[in-house]
Structures are given as C-alpha cells and as structure tokens.
Homo-oligomer: A and B are copies of this chain.
C-alpha cells in the first residue's frame, strides 16, 4: 500500500486525505484510532494526533473522545480571513493613509445599537463618524459607537488626530468579538462620504468587541465600491 515513508505529521495528513478522497474511508465512517494508525505508519501516536487534530480544525474530520474519529459528512470548509488595521491595509497597497473625523457626539444610541451592545436604555454613548482615505480617495466609511462605561478615559481623547480603532487597540486589553460580513445598498449618505454613486452595492463589516461581558465598541465599516476581501484555502 504505502511504500513511501510516513514520518512527519504533514505526510500523515496527506495520507489520511488521500484515503478520504479515494473513498477508502467514506463520509460518516469511523477511521482507525490513533494508536492503530501510529503503528501502521510507524510513527508515534503524538504525530498522528497532530495530523488528525489539524484535519479536525479544518472541518474534514470529527473527533470525540471514546467515540473515535469520523470523516465529516458535511465537509465544512473553513477559510481564515486576515483583518488588518485599515491604516496598514492602505499603506501596504502603496497609498498614503489619511483619517478624517466627520462627527463626534455623545448621544443616546438607536435601538438596534442598544440591542447589539446590550447597553442600558437611556444611557448615552460616544458616536464617531469618520472616513479613511487612500491617497485622498475615500476607502472606507466608519460609523462607530463606544460604550463610555466600559472604556475609562475615552471622553478626553481627541479623535481628530488618532483613529478610534488605533486608540482602542493600544489602550484596551485583549478582547473578543464577533464579526458579520454583508452587503448593503448605498444611500445618499454613503454616496456622499465615499464619493460614489447612490445605490451602489457596498461591502460591509459589522464588528462588536467585548471585554468579558461588557461591550466596548460597535463599528460598521462600509467600504467603497470594488473592495475585495481575499483568502486562500
């Protein structure tokens, strides 16, 4: 069967993939346990473990203690997206970065924002609207809410100089968050700020960031037409 040496976890992974493709191990089927594979391949169990864990991470295998390892019936493909800081994304493309604050005010947020950030009703939050430019051309329009109750000292900051994103990255502890990607139809406001046609289809990222159980910030990024987010599987 396998004449080539199987010693590294990568080659174990390749061989396992080959068997899945060749339908030697069919979707939903149990595959041999780590110890058996290790002895078959002539390597340590830890090496097999590393390979199978990696495949489970990408969604091709399903593993459970005692139950064993199965070939996934629904091969969910996982794609990893890099979400860089906008300044870096723009300068990496060779453009000059500029950030421009459009408005800043402390007001009671609309209901959908209250819901997303799980704020108490009636409390005010900091609302920032800004645009990031690439060599003078609008690149992305940023509409952000910051929870002052979770971010001490935010009210004294001058966000005309530094973008809120960069300030938060530098001054808030490591955080968790959730991200939504979607598309919207641009209205008059987006058209003005992004200098594009009203009615254009625009790529949107919504991101809420949390420390423990409190929302720090909710930001909607609306990108200028033509923006593409790229990844490799």
Contacts and interface: CB of A to CB of B under 8 A. Distances in A.
Interface of A: 17, 20-21, 59-60, 74-85, 88, 169, 173-174, 176-186, 199-204, 223, 225-233
| Max count, chain B CB within 10 A of own CB: residue among A174, A182, A199 | A182
B201 A233 contact: no
Given A59-B82, A82-B78, A169-B75, A176 B232 contact: yes
Contacts of A230: 178-181
Q: What's the dominant secondary structure at chain A's contact region?
A: strand
A174 B20 contact: yes
B182 A228 contact: yes
A5 B164 CA distance: 36
The count of identical subunits is: 2
Contacts of A76: 82-85, 88
A200 to B, nearest CB: 5
6 contacts: A74-B88, A75-B85, A76-B82, A181-B228, A182-B229, A200-B201
Contacts of A200: 185, 201
Given A179-B230, A185-B225, 12 more contacts: A17-B174, A59-B82, A74-B84, A77-B84, A78-B80, A79-B81, A177-B232, A180-B228, A182-B203, A183-B204, A183-B223, A201-B202
Contacts of A84: 74, 76-77
A79 B80 contact: yes
Contact of A179 (B79, B83, B85, B186): B79
A21 B173 contact: yes
A227 B182 contact: yes
Contacts of A184: 183, 201
B80 A229 contact: no
